[in-house]
Homo-oligomer: A and B are copies of this chain.
Amino acid sequence: MSDTDEAVTPDPEAAGSGRRGRRGGGRAGRAASRKANKPETAAYLERKLKPVEVLDEEGYAIIEANAEVILSEIGLDFRDYPSALTLLADAGADVDGERVRFPKGMCREIVQATAPAQYTQHARNSAHNVEIGGNNTVFAPNYGSPFAFDLERGRRYADIADFQDIVKLVYMLPHLHHSGGTVCEPTDIPVSKRHLDMVYAHIKYSDKPYMGSVTAAERAEDSIELSRIGFGGDLGGRTVMTSLINASSPLSWDATMLGAAEAYAKANQASIFSPFILAGAMAPATTAGVCAQSLAEALAGMTFAQLINPGCPVVFGTFAASMSMQSGAPTFGTPEPAHVNYIMAALARRLGVPFRSGGSLCASKLPDAQAAYESANTLQPAVLSGVNFMLHAAGWQEGGLSVGFEKLIMDHDQLGAMAKFAQGVDLSDNGQAMSAFRENEPGQHFLGTEHTLANFESAFYSSTVANYDSFEQWEEEGSLDTAQRAHKMWKQMLNDYEAPPLDDAIDAELTEFIAKRKEVLPDEFG
């Protein structure tokens, strides 16, 4: 179970170098776009549909009240981090050992007073800057998997080559707006050092925004320093990383995560304060219980960040899996986590901060039907709920234990479809199509009408992975299933990959910094 815990496996990274024009990503963006054989797409998704609600005002109020009871009566532990206890006590919390109880309304008031409702995360290529919050959705890839899977090599421990390959693919995939963080664990590099190689890979092989390391305060500091170099020597107050700070659910924050969060907050970098819940184990088994606890945990974490640096960007995270009644294994794509997702998104809106969810979550060992059903059952609720930052939007496999190369390609196609869905319905005169009815008799096909010809190319989402050939033609071409087609696609993409430009001097400075740090860091695995 602990292997699937986001908080247990991560080991992230950071950096960039800001130049180049917007829309289309300059030379590199256009090249990537050509390679991927896709139209150029927006840097992030602006949703037009209203978020879907599964509770009414009264229901949300119940959960908010319960979260306040948890915060004020049950309390949370802030472990092995004395300065946090002092800080929280000074702000009005009741501190008893490491147990912190927050008077009712205290956390909400602090967060609402200073946390931004939306922020810009800058990318090395400013055409890839993303707006996190409001009606915007940013898709980021899989995070934290110790294994990698593809049809050719099967499942094996992931290494830095896998990591680099995933970063390259994500760079080329237009509906992934963000390069992510620990897209997989490079297990061939010591834990104490791998954050340097990961952050460097995001800067070197992509120019999309990325996440920083959270597994130690000094690794967060390294991530910030690499970013400073990568962005040309001075961040100038810009937020260039959004990093994942996981609670030790239930109701605990540990020193590792608090240390990273503090480093990022001080540098005005964004943190996602995210409960990590396997319902029934790290929280009660019921949806309303999971939601109240998640709200309490996120509020406590965001309060800490706002006290460290009022106004620094924070994201309200959620992660909830259900459980197999047979084995206790985590299960995904089930109805209960979907309910949690809808409710948490609404609670974040009511609080006024950006919201983070999962995306392509699944338990399947293969990129098969189970994986697809489960992922769709996570992706749709997340988009419909109005998520702002979707982690694991593509590539998640085997309960997060593996990043799947084929799955990455397949999920990405679904992101494109959901992006089109979220644009809503065109009710312009052209959308209403009354001219088509006027030029066409009942019983006659519309294929040749002026209206169809004018709209045909952009009328429908065009899948990159689905096969629509006749059975006979499909059979003739080898009867490939979805995963086999996706396999061919990622291999071709890696073959065609061209890195975005990176200034030689910056590259040298990054490399030098990494070499120096590696000299002093111990060789620790695990």
Contacts and interface: CB of A to CB of B under 8 A. Distances in A.
Contacts of A366: 479, 481-482
Interface string A214-240: 000000000000000000000000000
A482 B281 CA distance: 27
Given A52-B52, A374-B466, A468-B327, A482 B437 contact: no
Interface stretch (A131-139, A351-359, A426-434): A426-434
A134 to B, nearest CB: 19
Contacts of A432: 62-63, 66, 286, 288-289, 292
Contacts of A99: 442
Interface residues of A, number: 121
Contact of A401 (B427, B443, B471): B471
A366 B478 CA distance: 13
A311 B123 CA distance: 63
Interface in A9-29: none
A285 B410 contact: no
Nearest to A438: B74
A403 interface: no
Contacts of A74: 437-438, 442
Contact of A252 (B285, B424, B443, B457): B443
A246 to B, nearest CB: 14
A469 interface: yes
B281 A369 contact: no
Contacts of A481: 366, 368-370
B443 A250 contact: yes
Contacts of A461: 322, 334-336
A83 interface: no
A316 to B, nearest CB: 19
Interface stretch (A110-118, A195-203, A413-421, A497-505): A413-421
A467 interface: yes
Interface in A332-388: 333-336, 338-339, 343, 363-377, 380, 384
Contact of A368 (B333, B424, B437, B482): B482
Copies in the assembly, this chain:
2
A280 interface: yes
Contact of A66 (B59, B414, B434): B434
Contact of A482 (B364, B434, B452, B456): B364
B331 A281 contact: no
A288 B431 contact: yes
B370 A367 contact: no
B467 A364 contact: yes
Given A418-B335, A426-B286, A377 B376 contact: yes
Contacts of A401: 471
B279 A334 contact: no
A200 B452 CA distance: 44
A331 B370 contact: no
Interface in A447-464: 447, 449, 451-452, 455-457, 459-463
A404 to B, nearest CB: 11
A466 B377 CA distance: 13
Interface string A387-402: 0000000000010010
Contacts of A251: 442-443
A49 interface: yes
A327 B372 contact: no
A462 B384 CA distance: 24
Contacts of A6: none
Given A417-B334, A446-B280, A461-B336, A436 B289 contact: yes
Interface in A469-499: 469-471, 474, 479, 481-483
Interface in A62-83: 62-63, 66, 69-70, 74-77
A301 to B, nearest CB: 14
Interface string A162-190: 00000000000000000000000000000
A508 interface: no
A293 interface: yes
A372 B369 CA distance: 5
A252 B442 contact: yes
A161 interface: no
A79 B304 CA distance: 72
Interface string A232-272: 00000000000000001011100000000000000000000
Interface centre among A76, A374, A483 (most CB of B within 10 A): A374
Given A280-B460, A380-B380, 4 more contacts: A50-B53, A285-B451, A335-B420, A365-B474
8 contacts: A74-B442, A289-B437, A363-B466, A365-B479, A366-B479, A368-B372, A369-B372, A369-B410
